A and B are shown apart, each in its own frame.
Chain A
Amino acid sequence: MTDSALSVAMSELTEAQAVAVAWRDGPMFVLAGPGSGKTRVLTTRVAKLLADTPDRSFRVLALTFTNKAADEMSGRVTALVPEQERRALVGTFHSFCMQMLQQHGSHIGINPDFAIYSLDVDRQEILRDAIKQAGLAADDIRLLSTIDKLKSRLVQPSGSARYFRDPSDGKRVEQVYTAYEDALTRANALDFGSLIAQAHRLVTSFHGIAVRYRKTYAYWMFDEFQDTTDGQYQLIRALAGEDFKNVFAVADDDQIIYQWNGASYQQIQRFRADFSPQELQLPTNYRCPPAIVAAANHLVVHNIQRTTAKQPLEAGKTSLRYPNEQHIRVLRYSTDEVEAASIAEGISKIDRARWGEVTVLARTRYLLEKLQAALTRKQVSAVISQRRDDFRSPQFLWLAAVLRQALRPLDRRALEILTGAFNRWFGTDTRVDLIITATELTERSLLDEWAVAVKAALSENPGAIALVDLAAKFAKEPTRFRSFIEAVLTRIPAQDDESSDIAEDRAAWSDLVRSIGKTLGRDAPLEQFLQELAIRSKEAPVGKNTVTLMTIHGAKGKEFDHVYVVGLAEDILPSFQSLKAGENSPEMEEERRNCFVAITRAREWLCLSYADSYRGWGKQPSRFLREMGVDLPVTPAG
């Protein structure tokens, strides 16, 4: 059965893909262009490594960048080698570090049931308390982003002062950073940056941990290696030590678009220097029509920061829906308003059943919002797809906060969220500070006190009272959280009059529960359920017949039949900042890669558009249009 599933998958590989899949020991670096089947290469290689060694117990590690991609990859591996599924660890850098810290974190003082603070508001709250407790200045709260930068460079609080030119600045940051980390520790919590930084600390402090990971995970694979941050790369280095060489990285140096987040061509160069990998290129693009491939090639050769010997993309797509001359369209409009309206108009004419395969990409969110408004006017359903760190509806915010409160009865932040959400939901005005004061007298738990307070305020609302009772009962037996969730879900209204928040959150919730169930099994305890919930996006899956609007960053790794790229004008794409940095600046190159990523999302058809003015300012057409070698309209349309 499975043999055949795998052998079918193997037989469908191209020659170059097959070489990559068959690669066994030693370092390998695969330069894979967009649409070259790199996910297929990775998953098939994982499956093959496992299938080839049925009697061995080592595991294979495959890391990618989003939970969605990880879920997809692990699903494919399971389909190929179901009985070996246990030996594959497919995850994100963050989930991998989370697991490492859950299992071995105690050596650096981290308990396995740590909470993950993914929301900036939560983190600011923690920092505010920390600052207060340490007697530091209240406006030090703005140092949070500085702390994040230090963390992303794996700088620990102690000694962080030396990273600042001004000693007094450094001293202050070190104090605030230390206070912040201490507060996280007291709360038994980690933030996103800590996951990587603490894993690195663990591995570098204890030789034995890295040795074990090298032994347990005999082969490592990295997807989208170009997006690895400095911290992530250092972690890989520390784990690999001097001798481990079974690293297999798939990257495209033309798709580095997270430079601002620490991704850089340097990482690829470091990988080459540190591991001396064999290199393999997968230049054949099976996604885009030939015209788009050609445009992408024309565009990207203007970059200098890329692999010198990189082969241009080759068009490998065989079945095309439209004739060749229709694959790229370039549209020019007088203003951004007209651009949005006209694009919306165009989309509204596409068969409704295909809207799910249509996307509009833009450099910034501003243009997407304009587009969404225009589409709404045309009765085209459209969502701006973006990672969501939290739910939107008070109903689901309340549900998640009650879960958290039950697990951590002393967590005041959870109390604040659940109180606020419930107030919004039922129009009550329960006050957190009064609840906290009251608990000191009554010695009730925070949640019980909240229940008492809110019930007093809810004179005539049986539905709300039932929810309060559910929560109070649940808090006494937090292990039964699944039945609590079920009960609450039946009491959350199906629809909200004003917005689609509830419906979206509900869709997101069931998606999350499914995804978490796949990672942890269906009987995972509450603390782990919440850990997994914290690291996942709460964005609803895009519904059927809905147009997706995305920033180019959000579109990475995705593909659509119809792709509109709007706002191809100087100062927009390329951005004003990159123009300021100069013609040959790294910033400009990053913008060019943004454009490269955007256009290579298209499976069938690409529409490039720009306006002569944005927000009332006159703009030139993007240089990238010229570089792509497409013809520009002489006059604006519409």
Chain B
Amino acid sequence: MQLKRLKIANFRSIRQADIDLGPVTILIGTNNAGKSAILEAIRIALTRRWGQRGTGFTEYDVHLCDGRPDPKVGDPVVIEVELQEEAANEWPEDLHGELEDIIQLDPMSGRASIIMRVSCSWDAAEESFVPRWEFLNVDRNPLAGRGARAVNLQEFFQFLPVFYLEALRDVADEFSSRSQFWGKLLRTVQIPEPLEQKSKRIFDLLNRRLLGADPLLANLATGLSHISRVAAADVPGEADLRLLPLNTWDILSKAEVIYQTEGDKPWLPLARHGQGVQSLSIMFLFKAFVELILKDLYRPESSAVLALEEPETHLHPQAARSLWRHISELPGQKIVTTHSPYFLQHVPFRDIRVVRVGKDGTTVGSLPRQFRAPVPYIPQLDAIVAASAGLITYDRGLNELVLSGSLPQKQYRQLLVAYGDRPDRQAIHAALRKAFDTSQEFISDAELEQLETFARRIRGEIFFACRWLLVEGPSDYHLVHGIAKGLGYDLDEHGVSVIDFQNNGSPEIFAVLARALGYPWLAVVDGDAAGLDYIARIAARSFSADEIARRTYSLPAGHLEQQLVADGLQPELKAILISFGNAAAASFDDATLIATLENDKIGYAAVLAKQCAENPVLAQRMSAPFRNAILSLRGLT
């Protein structure tokens, strides 16, 4: 059983967010974007311990903003989790049986789903923030009857235990006898009674011997016996010195992991190792915990949810890079935040969620295979669904229309018409519109695979950028960096990633990726046939003419070298060639100059870029499309 979707409202930094979750989900985003809030939301939603502090919500959990200065007034905090089977009876039979009363059905396919909502608002009568857990039906109304009984929650939580590993992980805490994994593991250790008794006898004997070995120890024990006269009123007590453990639990609770990094290094306790080893060890401890005792502590059908903050902390880039594989192999469902491009390098695109705070609340960019519209079922859908060859389906377990690709205009119209005569059509049309629009962002598996192949090198980096600037090749790459610096807008400092798309795939895929994940982007292409074709390919991915006009720049004089020459940069270019040892360059005509430059694109461009960076006047003389593009990057949305 896995969380499939999470909806959050008015919680901490998040006003509104809607996140699809997979077996592994990687959350990235700037500090304070709300990544940890998402993990916390899951933790709070899936753990409730009656009467135990630290569960539920406090006033600091309520999202505050200009329109809402007082946490006690306004809409409630709401966290909704959805779980759904991929196919009927995917979940174990016992789980079905135990959770029967809260299960909702796709009444056609028989797929089960569970929708749980935690909400919380100020209760004036109780004078506290009162959380309320409830299970919902497919229309998101609270279940009544048996489905509303409190006992369901305990059962539900048993099947879906959640574990949280914070960014600041401390080996001393995590390997203490009271910790969530280590402590529980130790407590399940069973020492046979005879061995326990025998150990105790030996400890006692040794203890007496040791005490007897030096009179000082014996005298010390006698001296301490006076404690009892003071502490316990009338009853005479006794104090003794214990040099050895009292029992086997005493031993077990002090058990510690020792670790040897290489064959000839000494064995050392974990805490004596570096931070990276410590950090890793905790993750493997979790793995051992789940594999060894989760099913005993919870239920045989339980599957863990691990909320993991910044697993890469303290790790060498190489280690961070291989970390993804280890994490994906951890048992259960993993939801991970990261700030590491190295870590991200091997994460499949579809597992990435880009969390951002915008003026309309938190947005979570992703590359879903499906797009969903919460609209009611009507019989007229059947024909549209049947004719769509699998593109459109209706999920009656969640009451949502599901698009498994970009929705063509024609079918979109048909859907609008199908709901046309309903009194609530406005809301429905809005939902359809949204699904239609977002479905245009669909990127197929084939395209993503292509990206995996070409763009692995840059993908870690570009996802941590604020904006993307697409250019054709490496010479443009160098040049825009130099020009930008010369113009006083250092691209690195401003978090702009320059993507030379010819080496990494195709321009349209980056444009679509940027749109889907919410990265503002611009493209500068050559003014030749190839460049025009690039723009046409981008436009073909459902970008409006306005948007193409706003986001794409082309060099009017043709390709880069033609443009540089047209811009009157012959003296500078010739000087560069001469500095490369090409003395003849001084007398080149334009055509020869262009041809020569084309043969050594990267070389001259790097030098020219450097000159631009150091010389604002030169930068100002560079071609207008470059300069304009760079200037528009500021404040670009």
Contacts and interface: CB of A to CB of B under 8 A. Distances in A.
Interface of A: 56-59, 86-87, 98-99, 102-107, 111-113, 205-209, 211-212, 215-216, 477, 480, 520-521, 523-525, 527-528, 531
Contact of B147 (A56, A103, A111, A211): A103
Contacts of A208: 88, 105-110
B158 to A, nearest CB: 13
B110 A211 contact: yes
Nearest 9 A/B pairs, CB to CB = A57-B97, A206-B107, A102-B145, A112-B144, A208-B110, A208-B107, A102-B144, A57-B94, A106-B139
A480 B126 CA distance: 10
Interface stretch (B23-31, B148-156, B321-329, B621-629): B148-156
B138 A531 contact: no
A481 to B, nearest CB: 12
Given A216-B97, A216-B100, A113 B141 contact: yes
B149 A207 contact: no
A111 B142 CA distance: 9
B125 A112 contact: no
B137 A112 contact: yes
A531 B150 contact: no
Contact of A528 (B94, B100, B145): B145
Interface in B100-149: 100-101, 104-110, 125, 137-139, 141-149
B148 A107 contact: no
Given A113-B144, A525-B148, A103 B110 contact: no
Contacts of B144: 102, 112-113, 525, 527-528, 531
8 contacts: A106-B137, A106-B139, A111-B141, A112-B145, A205-B107, A208-B108, A208-B110, A524-B148
Interface in B391-439: 396, 399
Contacts of B107: 104, 107, 205-209
Nearest to B142: A112
Nearest to B130: A479
A90 to B, nearest CB: 12
A103 B137 contact: yes
A422 to B, nearest CB: 25
Contacts of B104: 103-104
Nearest to B137: A106
Nearest to A217: B100
B98 interface: yes
Contacts of B273: none
B193 interface: no
A107 B138 contact: yes
Tell which of B101, B106, B125, B145 has the most Cβ of chain A within 10 Å. B145
A103 B150 CA distance: 15
Nearest to A86: B151
Contact of A212 (B98, B105, B145): B105
B214 interface: no
Nearest to B102: A103
B93 interface: yes
B133 to A, nearest CB: 12
A58 B106 CA distance: 20
Contacts of B93: 57
A339 B15 CA distance: 79
Interface of A is mostly: helix
B97 A112 contact: no
A212 B111 CA distance: 10
Contact-residue size bin, chain B (C-beta under 8 Å from the other chain): 20 to 34
B634 interface: no
Contacts of A106: 137-139, 141, 399
B272 interface: no
Nearest to A95: B145
B543 to A, nearest CB: 39
Nearest to A480: B125
Given A59-B100, A215-B96, A216-B96, A104 B105 contact: yes
Contact of A111 (B95, B125, B139, B399): B139
Given A106-B138, A525-B148, 5 more contacts: A103-B143, A103-B145, A105-B137, A206-B105, A525-B144
Contacts of A56: 94, 97
A525 B141 CA distance: 14
B146 A99 contact: yes
Contact of A98 (B95, B97, B139, B145): B145
Which of B108, B137, B138, B147 has the largest count of A CB atoms less than 10 A from its CB? Answer: B137
A521 B151 contact: yes
B139 A528 contact: no
Contact of A520 (B105, B110, B145): B145
Contacts of B151: 86, 521
Contacts of A112: 137, 141-145, 147
Contacts of B109: 208
Nearest to A520: B149
B98 A57 contact: yes
Contact of A207 (B108, B138, B141): B108
Contact of B396 (A107, A216, A523, A527): A107
B145 A206 contact: no
Interface in B25-40: none
A102 B110 contact: no
A521 B149 contact: yes
Contacts of B106: 208
Which of B107, B137, B141, B151 lies at the interface centre, i.e. has the most chain A CB atoms within 10 A of its CB? B107
B141 A531 contact: no
Nearest to A212: B105
A491 B137 CA distance: 39
Contacts of B143: 102-103, 112
**Taking each of B94, B138, B149, B151, which has the highest tally of chain A beta carbons within 10 Å of its own beta carbon?**
B149
Nearest to A522: B150
B233 to A, nearest CB: 43
Contacts of A521: 149-151
A208 B98 CA distance: 19
Contacts of B137: 103-106, 112
Nearest to B97: A57
Nearest to B99: A57
Contacts of B110: 207-208, 211-212
A112 B137 CA distance: 8
The residue among B88, B109, B125 with the most chain A CB atoms within 10 A of its own CB is B125
Contacts of B98: 57
Contacts of A209: 105, 107
A525 to B, nearest CB: 6
A207 B149 CA distance: 27
Interface in B150-172: 150-151
Given A111-B139, A211-B110, A523 B145 contact: no
Contacts of B100: 59, 216
Interface in B73-88: 88
A515 to B, nearest CB: 15
B516 to A, nearest CB: 32
A555 B455 CA distance: 82
Nearest to B95: A57
A207 B108 CA distance: 6
A103 B101 contact: yes
A255 to B, nearest CB: 31
A58 B97 contact: yes
Contacts of A58: 97
B188 to A, nearest CB: 21
B301 to A, nearest CB: 10
A88 to B, nearest CB: 12
